[in-house]
Amino acid sequence: MALHILRNSCAAGEFSPLLDTRGDLPKFPTGCRILRNFFPRIYGTAQRRPGMLYEGTLLGNARLIAFRPTAARQFVLELSALKMEVWDDDGSKVSGVSLTTPYLETELFEVQMKQLNNIAFFTHPNHPPYELTLTVDGSGNDSWTMVETVFDWPPMRQRNESDITVTASGTTGSVTLTFSDDVFLDSPTLNDHIGMAVEVTHRRPQVSETLALDATADSSSITVVGDYTLTTYGTWEGSLDVEVKNLNGGWDTIRSFESPADALRNIAWKATSEKPSEIRMSYTTVSHQGNPSAVLEVEDSEYTGWAEITAMTDRAICTATVKTALFGTGATDIFRLGSFSPATGYPRACTFHEQRLVFAGTNAQPNTTWLSRTNDFRWFRYGAYDDDAIGFTLSADDSSPIQSMLSHVALLIFTQSEEWALLTSEQTPVTPRNIFVRRQSRIGTAQKTPIIASDTVVLLERGEKKLRQFQYGGEQGGISDDLTALAEHLVRNGVKEYQFQVQPDPILWCVTNDGKLIAMTIDQSQNVIGWSPHVTDGLVRSVAITSGENALGDSVWVVVEREVNGSTVYYLERLDPLWLEKLEDDETTSVVYVDSAVTVDGGAPTTTFSGFSHLEGKTITGLADGAEIPAQVVTGGQIVLSTQATRVVVGLPFTSTMQPTRSELGSETGTSLGRKFLTQRCSVNVWKTLGLKVSDHPDGTFTEFLLRDYDTLMGETEPWFTGQIDDVQINADSRQSIDTTFQTDSPFPCSITAFTLKTMVDGK
């Protein structure tokens, strides 16, 4: 019996071998047993991936991070052991930029980064937060800095609730802090507490200053943080100023009030000082009646300063440098110890949420989150005002640490065993008075920052072997679907890193722990989730995405470990971002379908081209004015052609293979399992394709489709083919399933839109 079997979509991508006989799955007819170096487009087409452009050689193994300081500028950060270098989006290394970092090679992929405009904050549990800043001077010159974050007020732990007191030897400069009992118990190594902050609070003996308005005079000053008021009483004529002490020790006027001679005026004025300030009243008199006065009053009955430990004496005594002046030297039981230090560890996670910088998850406080004051990212002093800093600890069932965070509809918090959402009443902004935190699910995530892929939150499950789609569920909690369920074989060794490409198709690119590059085309509106592996001559160690200038393509950057001329090298490469534009414009001489590729325009026709020393001793292929270059070995950084050309695209060849899933051909006598199949002929529909071959099995003999124009002379540019090729004869054997496979290893594009297999079926 002869059957004609049509397949016009591979949108479900490559399936796990464990699903080879699951013809009952709805996506099975659009899946593949092999989809290597092809990716499924949202239209169902199997599109050959573009080649990788060679951009430069790296210092060593590295992690890539995209950095976009403005809408018009973007960079790729090369984060390697103890160092960071910067690459421009045009593929050139930024000259003179080599920044020192604290991160060891083993720590690179635990670093989390969150960017806001021209500044990016970095966190790692073993190191203080760091910040990268790009500034541009008036002449357009860039200045890059990578420094440890200096807090105006650092995150603190809960207030002391014991009867232990602290006494300071002074209020400014270097002081000795003496506690009435041991408090520095976070680490067996005493000096690990150096760098910890200590917040000291005293109750004010006096919360106001009074100034008689019967003579020109200045009041004593009062230290103010938060709200304060000015109130006048009686009949007075003159000018009353509220002043603040400046950095030079002088006084600047905040507000002036006048009371004229012919009118009785009294003042009831309220203001806020966001940071500790010295405030006083200054009065110039004209006249008065009775005993008029003015009262400057602070609302907070407590005053707080803080210091940073510089040396340890024992577990109750330390030396510290005062950062914000202390109130006095008397003993007080109101104090806090800092949250970040070598003894307590540093935050694993960071993000921005509602104009606040957010840190979370130290070794000592694994379930605690700190939010800065609104629009003041280095200020974490707690308070009751709506814009004050916030700190809270999850009421989790276990102490699994916070692994990462993501600002979405809510602030999503991901721990090793649960997922949480920071909510507010009626979707109002987050304030210290209206937050509540609700558990969403019990999946558990790896220490990798989830990403937003289109409108979908994608997280990496603990164990790093499943990527899940996390849907924020409000009161119903989170809904989580396994995106790797049909392709579990691709992630068995764990996912090391993942990034999302928007254009031209939405694709999630992943690097596995064993150096494989895999991709998932995801478009929920088209019901498309399709995986594909992408193989090159080497191992892929990192991936980053920068936005393209138009809708035709973002840039997918990779670190590739290759063996070249007997040495292990690390190259910065990227998939040709203009591949779709070149296809649509029929640019047959400039397309890139080889890896570690370099394009050389020789000007006048020549047979010798240089510029390939990074591939010394490697066998290459490519294009010479659009014609295929026969395989040859790079010698002395050169290649030699048999005929002259003006432009060559040269790189490492790669093979693209597509084999569809089994065809379940039910009949009156039952399933097709157990039958014999002989597939001898094939028709295929392609778009802008050259070099495509077909076989009845991946290990069989391949037959090339007759896509070439035989009027084209040897060495001339060959046009790509679009359309249908009918009835190609396949050298076939009788098999237990339909194993037809398509393949190309030529340096040309290939897009398979549909194919029909003509198969003979035997067996009862």
How would you classify the pairing of strands 402-407 and 390-393? Answer: unpaired
Helix (H, G, I), strand (E, B) or coil at 144: strand
Confidence band, pLDDT 50/70/90 cuts, at residue 316: very high
Read off the pLDDT of residues 455-495 as tens digits, 9 standing for 90 and up: 789 999 999 999 999 887 655 566 778 999 999 999 999 99
The two tokens of residue 568 are 């292990």
Mean pLDDT of 9-23: 94
Which residues partner with 479 through β-bridges? 471
Residue 764: per-residue pLDDT: 45
Neighbours of 108 (CB within 10 A): 20
- For the record, the structure tokens of 579 come out as 């591949």
| pLDDT at residue 170, as a whole number | 97
Nearest to 588 by CA among 747, 752, 753: 747
Question: Is the pLDDT at 649 greater than 70, yes or no?
Answer: yes
Residue range 408-464, pLDDT digits in tens:
888 999 999 999 999 876 678 888 888 888 888 889 999 999 999 887 899 999 999
Distance CA 196, CA 209 (A): 35
Q: Order of strands across the sheet with 127-136?
A: 112-116, 119-124, 127-136, 142-148
- Can you give the pLDDT at residue 5? 85
What's phi and psi for 190, nearest 5 deg?
A: -60, -40
Q: Are 352 and 116 in contact (CB under 8 A)?
A: yes
Q: Which residues pair with 739 in a beta bridge?
A: none
What is the C-alpha to C-alpha distance for residues 492 and 466, in angstroms, rounded to an integer?
Answer: 9
Residue 759 clears pLDDT 90, i.e. is over it: no
Phi, psi of 359 (to 5 degrees): -115, 155
pLDDT at 663: 80
Token pair listed for 541: 């160690």
Query: With contact defined as beta carbons under 8 Å apart, do 61 and 561 qualify?
Result: yes
Q: How many helices (H) and strands (E) does the chain have?
A: 1, 55
Asked if omega into 506 is within 30° of 0 (cis), the reply is no
508 three-state secondary structure: strand
Least confident of 179-183, 311-315, 681-685: 681-685
583 phi and psi angles, rounded to 5 deg: -65, -45
- Rounded-to-integer distance, Cα 607 and Cα 637, Å: 14
- Token readout for 437 is 């935190």
Closest by CA to 243, choosing from 233, 232, 230, 234, is 230
8 A C-beta contact, residue 499 and residue 508:
yes
Is residue 17 classed as helix, strand or coil in its secondary structure?
Answer: helix
The burial of 269, by beta-carbon neighbours within 10 Å (0-12 exposed, 13-18 middle, 19 or more buried), is given as: middle
Task: Determine phi and psi for 661, rounding to 5 degrees.
Answer: -65, 165
Q: 536-539 — which CB contacts under 8 Å span 24+ positions?
A: 536/52, 536/560, 536/595, 536/652, 536/654, 537/562, 537/595, 537/596, 537/618, 537/652, 537/654, 538/562, 538/563, 539/514, 539/515
Residue with tokens 């059957």: 3
575 token code pair: 């998939």
Q: What is the pLDDT of residue 712?
A: 59
Q: How far, in Å, CA of 462 to CA of 403, rounded? A: 10
pLDDT in tens, 577-608: 999 999 999 999 999 999 999 999 978 999 99
Q: Which domains does the chain have, with CATH numbers?
A: 2-50+656-762 (2.60.120), 76-150 (no CATH), 166-204+303-337 (2.40.10), 208-300 (2.60.120.200), 595-652 (no CATH)
State the pLDDT at residue 721.
93
Q: Environment class of residue 178 by beta-carbon count within 10 Å: exposed (0-12), middle (13-18) or buried (19+)?
A: middle
| Parallel, antiparallel or unpaired: strands 435-441 and 721-729 | unpaired
CB 240 within 8 A of CB 256: yes
pLDDT value at 2 more than 90: no
Phi, psi of 445 (to 5 degrees): -120, 155
Write the single-letter amino acid at 12: A
Q: CA nearest 393: which of 419, 360, 425?
A: 360
Sign of CA dihedral 144, 148, 153, 158: positive
Q: Rounded CA gap, 300 and 269, in Å?
A: 16
Looking at per-residue pLDDT, the higher value among 407 and 709 belongs to 407
* 562 vs 558: CA distance, rounded Å: 12
Distance CA 277, CA 300 (A): 13
| Residue 195 Rama label (left phi>0; alpha psi -120 to 50; beta) | left
Q: CA 423, 424, 428, 431 torsion: positive or negative? A: negative
Query: Tokens in use for 359?
Result: 């840190």
- Spatial distance between the Cα atoms of 621 and 599, rounded to a whole number of angstroms: 12
How far, CA to CA in Å, does 399 sit from each of 65, 300, 403, 500? 30, 35, 12, 31
Question: Which amino acid does the sequence have at 592?
Answer: V
CB atoms within 10 A of CB 598: 22
**Residues 242, 281 contacting (CB under 8 angstroms):** yes
Mean pLDDT of the chain: 92
Question: What digits encode the pLDDT tens for the residues 496-545?
Answer: 999 999 999 999 999 999 999 999 999 988 889 999 999 999 999 999 99
Looking at the predicted structure, is the pLDDT value of residue 27 above 70?
yes
Which H or E element spans position 579? helix 579-584
Percent with pLDDT over 70 in the chain = 95
Evaluate if residue 374 carries a pLDDT over 80: yes
d(CA 548, CA 554): 4
Residue in the structure block whose two tokens are 């394009």: 599
Quick one: pLDDT band at residue 351, thresholds 50, 70, 90?
very high
- 90-145: pLDDT as tens digits: 999 999 999 999 999 999 999 999 999 999 999 999 999 999 999 999 898 999 99
Residue 23: pLDDT above 60? Answer: yes
Amino acid at 65: I
Please report, rounded to a whole number, the percentage of residues in the chain having pLDDT higher than 90. Answer: 76
pLDDT for 471 equals 80
Own/partner long-range contacts of 582-589 (Cβ < 8 Å, ≥24 apart): 583/688, 583/749, 584/552, 586/688, 586/720, 588/623, 588/626, 588/717, 588/718, 588/719, 588/720, 589/623, 589/625, 589/626, 589/647, 589/649, 589/717
In the block, which residue shows the tokens 């169902």?
A: 44
Q: Which residue has the tokens 């004229």?
A: 260
Comparing C-alpha atoms, which of 658, 630, 620 is closest to residue 744? 658
For residue 40, the surrounding DSSP H or E stretch is: strand 38-40
Tokens of 164: 């232990």
